Structure 1
Amino acid sequence: MIQSIRIFTFSLLIALVMAQDGSGKYNGYDAPKYKVLERSTKGYELREYEETNWVATIGKTKRGMFWKLFRYIMGNNKDGSRIDMTVPVAIKFEPMETTPENITMHFFLPKSNNPTPLDSQVFLTSFPKFKVYVRRYTGFSGEQQQRTNLNMLKMAVGRENYNTDYYFFSGYDSPFKFFNRRNEVWLMAKQTTT
């Protein structure tokens, strides 16, 4: 009886957490809206995202890219306007199979009309509606955890189903959050480009 109650409580908790996904909010932050098309027993989801807007920069170090984008949302833009922090911070790595030569960091922008960046290395971009395979994991995500989860996702999805040119890592939490962190690796479904 106690075991049944524990299982029911755990299942209810998981259902509540999963119900929040895709709503356009995560822990009080604006996030892109999506719907889950498939939840695989192999540990991934297939999601469909609505068209989204982003501010981005290309670079070699995550810290340098982050601060360029952070300055943009703090007012280093044509209007001098501040924009609330959003999630995820999405990083595109290409090529996928070797040491990435191009790394692009993105901050999600909830509005479609955004001020022009003042920094010439920062730019506005948008992704049309797209489908993506996602593997979610917790903890602090270093390069090793990212690669491990990416490889698990690639094996589960099958090479014939995703774009092999690049992948994304998406982080949802502040570096000051120590527990229940949300990290994801994304593979673009074939016939989807960003």
Structure 2
Amino acid sequence: MFKRLFRYIKGYNSMNESLAMAAPVTTEVTAGTATNTYQMCFYIGDDHQASPPTPADPLVTIQDRPQSTVFTRTVGGYLRKDEDWLTEAGRLNELLKAGGETVSHEHMYWVGYDAPFKFWHRRNEVWLLKD
């Protein structure tokens, strides 16, 4: 997923124009009965928000997300496996339950703010949507 999106911002689009890489990079995880589905998104910077270039790759789309309320938990280090992310989501869910909050268990977001080659003081987040 990352490579396709990276190609888009590096000029594989209708304007053949490079776009600035914006943080965070989000991966929406939708729970399925047999398997989860994943959709990765890069944010488009202010200079292209009103009229982003059309992706040249048919598997890359422009998505406008509605405003939503999320609960988040910040996590450092590298989270490489699904189990790592799911463990953090479970921890956040337990904290929210203890506080009387309810969240959707249909979707969650795995969020990264740092380049892959940043080794220290990494910032990742798990987002759960308020029910």
Q: TM-score, normalised by structure 1?
A: 0.61
Partner AA of 2:70 in structure 1: V
Q: Once the 2 structures are TM-superposed, how far is the Cα of residue 175 of structure 1 from its aligned partner? A: 1.3
Aligned-partner Cα distance in 2 for 1:99–1:107 = 23
For 1:91-170, what aligned pairs fall within 5 Å after superposition? 91-95=27-31, 99-100=35-36, 102-110=37-45, 111-143=49-81, 144-158=83-97, 161-170=102-111
**Which structure dedicates a bigger proportion of its chain to strand?**
1
Q: Once the 2 structures are TM-superposed, how far is the Cα of residue 112 of structure 1 from its aligned partner? A: 2.8
Choose which of 74, 77, 90 in structure 1 pairs with 2:26: 90
Unpaired runs of at least 5, structure 2: none
Q: Once the 2 structures are TM-superposed, how far is the Cα of residue 142 of structure 1 from its aligned partner? A: 2.0
Q: Once the 2 structures are TM-superposed, how far is the Cα of residue 129 of structure 1 from its aligned partner? A: 1.6
Aligned-partner Cα distance in 2 for 1:118–1:170 = 25
Aligned-partner Cα distance in 1 for 2:72–2:60 = 27
Partner AA of 1:181 in structure 2: R
Higher RCO (CA-CA < 8 Å; seq separation 6+):
2
Moved >4 Å (runs of 4+)? none
Aligned-partner Cα distance in 2 for 1:169–1:75 = 26
In the alignment of these two chains, the number of paired residues is 125
Match of 1:177 in 2: 118
Aligned-partner Cα distance in 1 for 2:33–2:27 = 16
Aligned-partner Cα distance in 2 for 1:76–1:180 = 32
Q: CA contact under 8 A between 1:96 and 1:166: conserved in structure 2?
A: no
Aligned-partner Cα distance in 2 for 1:172–1:96 = 26
User: Which structure has the bigger radius of gyration?
Assistant: 1
Instruction: Using the aligned pairs only, state the percent identity.
Output: 33
Q: Once the 2 structures are TM-superposed, how far is the Cα of residue 97 of structure 1 from its aligned partner? A: 8.1
Specify the SS of the correspondent of 2:63. Answer: strand
Q: TM-score, normalised by structure 2?
A: 0.88
CA displacement 1:56-95 (0-9 Å, x = unmatched): xxxxxxxxx1000000000111111110111111001111
Aligned-partner Cα distance in 2 for 1:120–1:189 = 32
Q: CA contact under 8 A between 1:96 and 1:164: conserved in structure 2?
A: no
